[in-house]
Structure 1
Amino acid sequence: MPQDELLKKMIGRMLIVGFESQSITKDSKIVKDMQKYHLGGVILFDRHFNDRTKTKNISSPKQLKTLTSSLNSFAKKPLLISVDQEGGKVARLKPAYGFEATPSAKVVSEMDAYMTKRVYDNLAKTLQNAGINCNFAPVVDLAVNPQNRVISGLKRSYSSEPKEVAKYAKIFMDSLQERNIISVLKHFPGHGSSLEDSHNGFVDISETWGETELEPYIELIHSGGVSMIMTAHVFNRYLDELYPATLSYRVNTELLREKLGYDGVIVSDDLQMGAIAKHYTLEEIVTLSINSGVDMLLFGNQLAKQDTRELVETIMAQVKNGSISMDRIVESNSRVEQLFTKIQIK
């Protein structure tokens, strides 16, 4: 295979993208992109972000199972089929479409370990039956700021106590792992103390963030079983005076990898969110995030529309001009392939 073609496929392995439609054929754009670029993953949504009345990828258990089966059958390499299924308000598989309801983290935190395990076993079974093999959950942000609209306000945190958060998150992770589903801890280095929503714009946590927000990560990394961690689009001048976490070498490599000893996949939060997209060009976004240590770049195509070809060509140009080293591409590909050994792709 010519060098450029191989490089494009290696870059493709580092991408998780969203797409339109509830069903696909061999002629669908997402299928052609998967096959041409060996995409690492897709992310599914139930509704369009800007028009909640419009269905995007999920409308019923039967439809979803057919879609995920089609994705797997068309993929030339193992594919992450991912969703955000935390429970409570953040759920793409909703009771309204015929899926079983899962309570929010806040509600789960009032249960004992036995009941929690039952809740998450049921959720994992629902995901497995649907053909989902990667869940962007659990949230391990601490509920340290009651005014926080995106974490505390949506009941997405288990507690303000790190040990409680780690306890419930571990039960969730174990339930997913038993069904061969990758779990994703989020949002590193902690979104619980923020006041703003990174979907909309810049989020500065410099004066509110505390090191206790790292404790659930430390505990869970040490306990094993952490395969993916999602970075947050939050800025903390005490961790990096220039860049938000997603684009920060100091946060992703020096803190998460070197200090906390994490060697799994780092995935970005959606790179089309306002906190990033309003402040950086696409070249800057891909170059800074990959150089910071991010292995998989998430483009949900909910908040904007970016063509896979454009993403691949942009990253490729940055590799060619030396802005991104080939070593980083190889390193991320190695981590991504390692990730797939943890789940038996059907």
Structure 2
Amino acid sequence: MNRHIPLLLLLVLILAGEACSQDKSAETTEEKISLDQKIGQMLNVGFRGTALSDTNHIVRDIQHYHLGSVTLFDYDVPRDTALRNIRSPQQLKTLISDLQARTETPLFVAVDQEGGNVARLKPEHGFPASVSAQYLGETDDTDSTRYYARRTARTLSELGFNLNFAPVVDLNINPDNPVIGRIERSFSADPQAVVKHASVYIEAHRNFDIATTLKHFPGHGSSKKDSHLGVVDVTETWSEQELIPYRRLIHSGRADIIMTAHIFNAEWDTAYPATLSKPVITGMLRDSLGFDGVVVSDDLMMGAIRKEYGLKTAVKQALLAGVDILTFGNNAIYDPEIVPETHNIIRELIDEGTLSRQRIDESYRRIMELKKQLLIP
């Protein structure tokens, strides 16, 4: 009987080794899934379609790549048509409900509903009329601001939106600014007035569990050009007062999300615009202003980024800078493969050691903390 002990011992060792190998394999798979889920939460994309079909790439992006955020538009710029995502209140409510039904982790469903000239929900499609930030600033009546902000927030909530890419807190320093002043997106040139009306706007949205977004950090109001078209240099026009709304709203606890600006200032960074700049996002916003909430990029498909940097460089620099959510609106150009492409780039950056897993974990924590506050019971 003793002579069988070595054989039994060998069998036990073999089985133990197989079990250990299976455990390691399971751990590797679990780690991979966990990392993929975190990366997915860091992506925000636009897509075509007023109803959801299984063949739409957005379904794949949500289910396979764990996409965390989508942005809806009323107009498809590449096709120059009003047929994009929004046709009527009931259609839109169904679309958003169907999107959320495809995922276990609730999506941020975002829209640019600033009011006035930048409003995706328009009266011709059955939505309430809105007014511009400039109108509210010139009226300078907080009751009026509260009325219109509550109407917007209530509409968004009833439709199923949970994130508004507003308010704009850029100062109206240059009224001829083609992307801010000229289209009435700023409350005022006075930072105190901007803080006053933005605070009312934010609180009205919070009453309906709608997250808001301060934009465009660190201030787009003094620019002379449109960053949708190319690089905008504000080295000679930007001033420190443009940080006042951010500082005060952050310190008062009213900053849910902050959106970056694709503007260049040699005083901040001699190599990259704000969205891709660590001195701006980590140094200025995180360290100096003390913001530890979610930072979302403006659309990385806009001309200021797309025409100057390749996709990998833009993704790498934005993440190294400290951006948490990368936005690809798919409305300057349209790329149905942008999510898998970006996902693979981030994995490559991690594998090659350019980007740490800790950096991914930081963004994932910020995103999920905000989602738990708003979306997850």
Determine if the TM-score, normalized by the shorter chain, exceeds 0.5: yes
Alignment correspondent of 2:312 = 283
Q: 1:197-235: CA deviations, max 9, x gaps?
A: 000001000000000000000110011131100000000
Say yes or no: does 1:319 pair with 2:368.
no
Is 1:333 matched with 2:364?
A: yes
| Aligned equivalents of 2:309, 2:72: Cα separation in 1 | 25
Select which of 10, 31, 34 maps to 2:59.
31
Which residue identity lines up with residue 113 of structure 1 in the other structure?
T
Q: How many Å separate the matches in 2 of 1:4 and 1:344? A: 25
Match of 2:202? 173
| Residue 332 of structure 2 corresponds to residue 303 of structure 1 | yes
Code of the residue aligned with 1:317 in structure 2: it is: E
* Contact 1:138–1:169 (CA under 8 A) maintained in structure 2: yes
Residue 226 of structure 2: aligned partner: 197
Letter in 2 for 1:40: G
1:236-275 matches, within 5 Å, as 236-275=265-304
Task: Please say if 1:140 is aligned against 2:162.
Answer: no
Measured in 1, the distance between the counterparts of 2:45 and 2:286 equals 25
Deviations 1:12-51 (Å, cap 9, x if unpaired)? 1100011110110344321121011221100000010134
Structure 1 counterpart SS, 2:215? strand
Q: Give CA-to-partner distance per residue, 1:165-223, whole Å, 9 cap, x none.
A: 01111111111111011100000000000001000001000000000000000110011
Q: CA deviation at 1:241?
A: 1.2
Deviation, 1:124, is: 0.4
Pick from 141, 144, 147: which aligns with 1:112? 141
Aligned to 2:156: 127
Q: 2:374 aligns to what SS in structure 1?
A: coil
Which structure dedicates a bigger proportion of its chain to helix? 2
CA shift, 1:74, in A, is 1.1
State the percentage of identical aligned residues. 47
2:124 to 96, 121, 126: 96
Asked if 2 retains the 8 angstrom alpha-carbon contact of 1:188 and 1:231, the reply is: yes
Q: CA deviation at 1:115?
A: 1.5
CA, structure 1 residues 209+325, in 2 after alignment: closer, same or farther (shift >3 Å)?
same
Change (3 A) 1:140 1:30: same
Tell whether 2:96 aligns with 1:68.
yes
CA contact (8 A) 1:31 1:75 kept: no
Give the aligned partner of residue 22 of structure 2.
none
Is 1:57 the counterpart of 2:90? The answer is no
1:22 aligns with 2:35: no
Matched AA of 1:86: E
How many residues align structurally?
346
Structure 2 partner of 1:41: 69
Q: Distance in 2 between matches of 1:141 and 1:78?
A: 30
Q: Is the 8 A contact 1:34 1:76 kept in 2?
A: no
In the other structure, the counterpart of 1:343 is: 374
Query: Once the 2 structures are TM-superposed, how far is the Cα of residue 111 of structure 1 from its aligned partner?
Result: 4.0
Alignment check: 8 A CA contact 1:42 1:79 kept = yes
**In 1, Cα distance between the equivalents of 2:55 and 2:101?**
13
Q: Structure 1 274/248 Cα, relative in aligned 2: closer, same or farther at 3 Å?
A: same
Q: Which has the larger radius of gyration?
A: 2
1:215 matched to which residue of 2?
A: 244
Amino acid at match of 2:372: T
Q: CA deviation at 1:75?
A: 1.5
Matched residue SS, 1:341: helix
TM (normalized to structure 2)? 0.90
Q: d(CA) in 1 for partners of 2:134 and 2:313?
A: 37
CA drift at 1:85: 0.3
TM-score by length of 1: 0.98
Contact 1:38 1:76 in 2 (8 A): no
AA partner of residue 178 (structure 2): R
Write the distance in 1 (CA, Å) between the matches of 2:175 and 2:181.
6
What's the CA shift string for 1:287-328, capped at 9, x where partnerless?
A: 000000000000001112331111101111111101111111
